[in-house]
Structure 1
Amino acid sequence: MNSKPWVLVTGGAKRIGAFLNQEFAKSGKNIVLHYHQAETAALALKTQLEAFNIEVFLWQANLNEPATIEQRFEELLKQVPHIELLINNASVFEQGSLLTSSLAQIQSNLNIHLTSPWLLIQALVKQAIKQNKPCQIINISDANLSHLYTSKAAYFISKKAQETLTELAAIECAPNVRVNAIAPGFVLEATVADTEVSTQISSPLSSKSSAQLATKDINILQRKVPLADLFSAIEFLSKNHSITGQTLQIDGGSHLQCPPYMLKN
């Protein structure tokens, strides 16, 4: 096993998670490639990442079953010596108003956006203390949490709770572990009811409707957020050792003014 640092991106086999893993591999980081059901995609991505002369360890874990997280993470640490960076990126993004959301839907959103990230933070900090090595945590938030919308109530409420998790974790994990977040705006079209979605994409639109979306309706800069901008924000937070408890809005200004497409959904 080489001495390069290890990075864990939850929901890392598809979409934004896969992109982040590719960028980390290019920069020489070893990858813990997390997936739930997307084994085929994870295996294919593993082959791509290994071409960058780094190590890739496949880690299957169901974040919708938080009771299993502590044991699964302990098993992971038997294979991976030290995780330098955890990115809580996995998400579900489903339709459902406050009055129509089912118990299962509410619980899955809380599990994936709040409870499991919380438990992973606990596990990572225990590792850092035990090994006396630093680590960092970055949560993937959502720029549109600045506005209220009801079409995805379980998602909205659970991600708002994750904002508080970021701030409280930054306090409790200091001084050796920094905790921050980035809040993307419109990056990729949403995949409705996709439990392997890499991140909430700040878009309650289907692929069909978003294809018809005018650029002026996306944000005040009138363009999608490039994936590269998300990675550069993560690099900035990783390298700046004086920042903790902050959320960077990578959103083209969506947090300042509710995008027109949000008002239609």
Structure 2
Amino acid sequence: MTAVRPLALVTGGCRRLGAALCAALAEAGYDLAIHSGAISTPEAGLAERLAGAGAVWRHFAADLADEAAVADLLPAVEASFGRAPALLVNNAARFEYDSPESVTQAGMLSHYAVNSAAPVLLATALAARAGPAHRVAIVNILDQRIAAPNADQFSYTLSKLALAEATTILARRFAPYVRVSAVAPGLTLPTADYDAARLAEAAKRMPLAALPAPAEIAEAVLYLARAHAVTGQTLFVDGGAHLCHFPRDFLFLEGGEEGETRA
């Protein structure tokens, strides 16, 4: 009789870091419920990796800023797969620039809805399904900036700080059948603002003179998913960035500027 593969729900799993997490989980033996904010197809190569790993996967669209949509997500996954997830990876995030001078209530609340409230609500709903016969792991994706925050991306940073504290609170609350931990990545993938040249410049500023690869972040998630004696922990996978205090986001630090201090 073929063993049933454990099921993982990954929010924001179709692209970028989320796609890397899904691929690694599939290759580690998980089936995948892959969430995105809208109807979306997996990025190039992901479907092939999932198929090659023998994973059953399905896509679920839900607006994490909509409380009703968040409430419906886990039941939809259960109805589709016939079982609850054994692993929840809260990876989806809202990320827009603001500062203390430009922050608005609407901007703060929109970040909190997706980056703090939705992960907590999903974790709480999954914890209600846990028990001696169904132990659950939850991994929240944070950001290295929580260790020494600056004022850039103000609402985003505050929302990630809230999720970091929620990780510890929920780890206490949901034990012994649910483990709640987190991974705090550093700069990882190029964006429109962080091209390859900027990433290379940022890497030089890290204590390890290196930035993490998506596979390294996936390895940290897998460790926390499997480490049955670990809960309430945050693993920084960031080249050592959390050991420094950068006065501004890397985007605003000119090449060669030495503004950071070591903690």
> TM-score range, shorter-chain basis?
0.7 to 0.9
Tell me, in whole angstroms, the C-alpha distance in 1 between the residues paired with 2:137 and 2:202: 38
* 1:30 Cα deviation after fit: 0.4
Cross-structure match for 2:17: 16
* 1:5 Cα deviation after fit: 0.7
Q: Which protein has greater RCO, CA pairs closer than 8 Å, 6+ apart?
A: 1
Cross-structure match for 2:91: 89
Cross-structure match for 1:239: 226
* TM-score normalised by the chain length of structure 1: 0.85
CA contact (8 A) 1:181 1:247 kept: yes
Give unpaired runs (5+ residues) of structure 2: 254-263
CA contact (8 A) 1:63 1:111 kept: yes
Tell me, in whole angstroms, the C-alpha distance in 2 between the residues paired with 1:44 and 1:65: 30
The letter for the 2-side match of 1:227 is P
CA contact (8 A) 2:19 2:42 kept: no
* TM-score normalised by the chain length of structure 2: 0.86
Cross-structure match for 1:98: 100
2:207 aligned counterpart, secondary structure: coil
Listed as ranges, the matches of 1:195-206 within 5 Å are: 205-206=193-194
Tell me, in whole angstroms, the C-alpha distance in 1 between the residues paired with 2:247 and 2:213: 20
Cross-structure match for 1:112: 114
Structure 1 stretch 181-190 or stretch 46-55: which is displaced more? Answer: 46-55
* Distance 1:189-1:38 versus aligned 2 partners, 3 A rule: farther
Cross-structure match for 1:29: 30
The count of corresponding residues between Structure 1 and Structure 2 is: 250
RMSD: 2.4
CA contact (8 A) 1:138 1:179 kept: yes
The letter for the 1-side match of 2:209 is Q
Deviations along 1:1-43, whole A, 9 cap, x unmatched? 9711111111000000001111111122100011112513369
1:255 aligned counterpart, secondary structure: helix
1:83 aligned counterpart, secondary structure: coil
Tell me, in whole angstroms, the C-alpha distance in 1 between the residues paired with 2:44 and 2:118: 24
CA contact (8 A) 1:5 1:82 kept: no
* Distance 1:214-1:140 versus aligned 2 partners, 3 A rule: closer
